[in-house]
Amino acid sequence: MEPGRSPPGNGKEKQNESEGEGEGGFDICPRKQGGGVVLKPSLLAKNREVRRGSKSGGSKTVVLLGPGMVLLKGYLQLSDQQKIVEKCRELGVGSGGFYHPGYGQSKMHLKMMCLGKNWDPETGQYGDHRPFDGAKPPQIPPEFHHLVSNALAALPPDTPNPFPLPSIAPDICIVNFYSQTGRLGLHQDKDESEDSLRQGFPVVSFSIGDSADFLYSDHRDLDQPHKLLLNSGDVLIFGGPSRLIFHGVSVVHPNTAPALLLQNTNLRPGRLNLTFRHY
Ligand SMILES: O=C(O)CCC(=O)C(=O)O
Ligand SMILES: [Fe+2]
């Protein structure tokens, strides 16, 4: 199924997904054009989000989904989500930024940018440059490293046991932007080094913007995967015995992103996802 990150398309998404492609990388936060009407979130919604976002350290809700698979519900504070969006926007419009990936004749239903190392959907291999334009992927920003190590340190010591997860210093981050019709077929993240996979170094995944249905399954039940709603600010970690789960994104739920995040960043309708990995 790998690089099968793209299920067969119906052509509809392609129109939507070629939007915003210009000379530079795809802009996830296009600047407001004069004349447009910008709807402001209600005061109530704003206050609710400010209260949520100002909690120090984000949410403490930890959901154990399986051996080595943990969800930190609402972990990322709104201010951190905003910084992540702004940084991804800045890197995304530059060299090595967001592009519309594909393999063979098929396009994936998302925009992608790699940080640290390039992942090539054609070959499923990592490299130092993108084969199609020679660009070197931007470095993973130091603030992203901090967020990942803090998230891993937030796991209560007894939660992932008896499968404790090793901490990682990620050298790869794949950033996906899904439009509201974006999706990603069931696949395994298995192109990292044999050593990394054997040691069960976790994948750490940040969700920002619109909510989405995340499907996952072990090898035994690909026809009936589990479904998990990922909201803006959620951090999903899968490592140890769950490192090679099949997973994908079946649907993005339109207009579910925090209003304040949209207002402060002008993030396009859709969902941003960052997966940190150790090669
Ligand atoms: O968007 C997501 O939640 C998952 C992304 C993913 O599986 C990947 O980039 O390999
Ligand atoms: Fe994946």
Question: Atom of ligand 1 at shortest distance to CA of 273?
Answer: 1
Q: Is 120 annotated as a binding residue?
A: no
Rounded to the nearest 5 percent, the helix, strand and coil shares of the chain are 25, 25, 50
- pLDDT higher than 80, residue 220: no
189 annotated ligand-binding residue: yes
| Complex ipTM more than 0.95, yes or no | yes
How many helices (DSSP H) and strands (DSSP E) are in the chain? 6, 15
Name the band, by pLDDT with cuts 50, 70 and 90, for residue 12.
very low
Reported as a single tens digit per residue, the pLDDT across 249-276 is: 999 999 999 999 999 999 999 999 999 9
Rg (CA), the chain: 18
From 138, 207, 177, 214, select the one nearest 19 (Cα to Cα).
Answer: 177
- Looking from the CA of residue 178, the nearest atom of ligand 1 is 1
Give the tens place of pLDDT for each residue, 117-128: 999 999 999 999
Ligand 1: residues whose CB is within 6 Å? 174, 176, 184, 189, 205, 214, 247, 249, 273, 275
- The 10 Å Cβ neighbour count of residue 32 is 9
Q: 45 CA to middle of ligand 2, Å?
A: 32
Q: How far is the CA of 155 from the centre of ligand 2 (A)?
A: 21
For residue 212, CA distances in Å to 37, 40, 209 come to 27, 23, 9
Ligand 2 mean position to 18 CA, how many Å? 22
Reference 265, options 64, 88, 26, 137; nearest CA is 88
Position in ligand 1 atom list of the atom nearest CA 110: 1
**Tens of pLDDT, residues 97-117:** 999 999 889 999 999 999 999
CA of 248 to the centre of ligand 2 (A): 7
